[in-house]
Structure 1
């Protein structure tokens, strides 16, 4: 059960554990709650499923009320001094490796300098699955490279993906400043023409889904790619011919109810990483619903539903520990305090302090950013040590410090929280650690002591699946079972089904810009280098350090922290990204506060005749169903 500790009730007073308090005034336990000194509001009273008389310091209900400053441990300045000394030692070791790094840089330059085009990019025909921010970036980057024959299939009625209003939960917003979540060459701004660029306030804005979707539309118009998107169209099957190395897609249009087959395509690029909600199947749910209970996944809890639950004064359990659970808990607490709310999770997740990661670009802020960059590299070999350093230095944070979870770096999924969010989650959100194992007709049963938590509503914030497993595969005319749990070739291509590519793990950077890297890589793979056999791709995939599959996005994988570092190492060792450009990319983000896609330099200079459109002709091919045709570019 959640424990409680009494605190002083006087608004604006400084409280400690020894203060005299009226009977019935409580404060939920949190890390250091017995020694914390901060100002509290107790003029509003709320209750909780575990304590019927719980007075809360409701900073959440009044945004104008300043949040108390976080306590800084007395030993942290000493720790920083020692840490800076250690960083100098690491820098000396890196400098010792500089000749080897320069030699590798020169070798890569010569190697790719000798590459030449085997076919023009305009000859490619590509299908893109999903019109979220990654899908939009992929299509836009293909156009910049010269791939004009692109069809992007979206099952909803508009672009947006996870950010589309029909699937956006209440309070959905990006956790980073907008400059970190912008399209390549088109920074976020609310200005319709986008020419004046973002204001300083817009650069730092953590944009909500409505504004973000409007930004997607402006980007599509800016790039002139509106005609590339086909809405209300769901890919149900991909067929692959191993002799031609091309594929066809079967498309179901939910508006016309027609099924068409389109192709051939040189590549089918899957961009969704949060397509289907991942909801646990617990016993007894039917009994709970029959008794009047309601069960939702976070994707269903839009503004209207949340307002209805608040208005009807429902008892609510939010299950989960990640970004979506934090967002929804904040929404409930800000609208009605901790009243009839329980935040249930098996273990707390780790987050980065937003102001530490995205600093003010002062000298001290740059030192902070440099330290993060170094210890991300250290995480490759010593993830636990690296994470402990980031926690001790104040960069990493969790909302409930417990002995068994506070050093668990596997629960870090690149979430960012600012000071106000952290304070509310830690001090005003009623938390309960437990594993839900089933329903009763009255509530949710948790594993610990077989306890039953009475409730009216359960909201599962338990992540998403990519949805690629929903697509049927046919290879050479025969049904084919995709190897969903096997490693991808260079973390992009399915070795057993080479026409299918995935963007979900190629996280060279944050936000949609990773789509630009995927587009460049695929053009290099299809138009520049010699195509490897399926057997060779399997062998090379198994040699990679990272284990990334079609089934799950890296963003939802346990141990994301170390896996992401391994991904970058693989890309550098494979020569796909120059080490110096990757270093420059992270210096830009962590020290100077701006970003662009890391320069891959995979593509040779395009021949003049191809740049002028010579040697390319347009042909049309009728696909097999309903007389639907597509335009395809081929070399004359």
Structure 2
């Protein structure tokens, strides 16, 4: 970044999600304005102030999240109406450009960050190819730049791993996961990124609790494969819910919890508690599983 600023290079940030906003804010905090932001469609973000306030408005937002099980648009509309969501760089005029829940991945911005990203020149379009001048779009338009920063979704890369079990190659690239954590046909391999028990570092506590159970009571591979095939959430070892736009992250996140409940790993009360704590009480707490030993949680 220091080299880019020193040489006064033109920067193109590709990707409309939280990573793209982070790149924009990082440059703007240094007063750098040689930026262009390219994305297919703007993303929705949580507004920091109401999230940290909680209360009745947080309760309404929590209720709106449940609507994601039935619609990708209605819950975003409700959350916007109560002031919980914002759509930076929208071209919709008085109304937001869209209410597409697939463009909401629980990214969060405060008012200062929203003001930052609103100042940047933005372009909606589909990248086609890189040229000597910059990025050419499918429309034929050329976005001139010296540096391209890709802040886009991605696959986990598990498909690039060569896994051997008993001398045989095992394909774990896109298999459904047991409890969204363990690769069932390679059961010594666990994915912490897909085991999205909670936001923030307290997710590690639930992961540790899960490991204490799994190491002692893991079922057979056949049972794990059968259980994984029944998952309602569509994520796999190679496709984490957090970086996809073909499904709504919130809907898949709720289905993830329901998969844990159907598998006997969590109670309905346990699921509701972490969301009430987060959005109504405004505190972060770990998801407590029904099996395994929960480590001490610092208060």
TM-score (norm 2): 0.89
Please, which runs of 5 or more residues in structure 1 have no aligned partner? 1-305, 360-364, 606-636
Structure 1 residues 492-522: Cα deviation after superposition (integer angstroms, max 9, x where no partner): 1112212212111222211122222122223
2:4 aligns with one of 289, 292, 309: 309
Following superposition, the deviation at residue 402 of structure 1 comes to 4.1
Over residues 71-92 of structure 1, what are the superposed CA-to-partner deviations in whole Å (9 max), with x where a residue is unaligned? xxxxxxxxxxxxxxxxxxxxxx
Q: Does 2:19 match 1:324? A: yes
Structure-2 change in CA distance of 1:453 and 1:358 (3 Å): same
Q: Could you say if the C-alpha distance between residues 595 and 456 of structure 1 is closer, same or farther in structure 2, counting changes exceeding 3 Å? A: closer
**What is the SS of the residue equivalent to 2:73?**
helix
Consecutive unaligned residues of structure 2, counting only runs of 5 or more, are 295-299
| Higher Rg | 1
* CA distance in 1: counterparts of 2:25 and 2:215, whole angstroms: 46
CA contact (8 A) 1:370 1:587 kept: yes
Describe the SS at the equivalent of 1:386.
helix
Give the deviation of 1:405 after TM superposition.
5.2
Q: How does 1:278-289 map to 2 (within 5 A)?
A: none
CA–CA distance in structure 2, aligned partners of residues 308 and 337 of structure 1: 12
Counterpart of 1:532 in structure 2 is 219
- Which residue does the alignment assign to 1:553? 240
Distance 1:574 1:444 in 2: 47
| Map of 1:419 onto structure 2 | 111
TM-score normalised to the size of structure 1?
Answer: 0.43
1:572 maps to what in 2? 261
1:562 CA drift (Å): 0.7
After superposition, the Cα gap between the structure-2 partners of 1:573 and 1:411, relative to the gap in structure 1 and judged at 3 Å, is same
Is the CA contact (8 Å cut-off) linking 1:318 and 1:344 kept in structure 2?
yes
1:521 paired to 2:210: yes
Match of 1:395 in 2: 84
Task: Tell me if 1:438 matches 2:125.
Answer: no
Matches of 2:236 and 2:4, distance apart in 1: 38
Which residue number corresponds to residue 35 of structure 2? 341
Q: Classify the secondary structure of the residue corresponding to 1:502.
A: coil
Higher strand share: 1
Shift of residue 470, structure 1, vs aligned partner: 3.6
Aligned counterparts of 2:14 and 2:72: Cα–Cα separation in 1: 28
Summarize deviations over 1:333-361 as a string: whole Å, max 9, x none. Answer: 343453x32111111111111111122xx
- Inter-partner Cα distance in structure 2 for 1:574 and 1:535: 15
Partner of 1:454: 144
Distance 1:590 1:487 in 2: 30
In angstroms, what is the RMSD of aligned CA positions? 2.1
Aligned to 1:204: none
Q: 1:474 to 1:440 in 2, by over 3 A?
A: same
For 1:372 and 1:442, the matched residues in 2 are separated by: 45
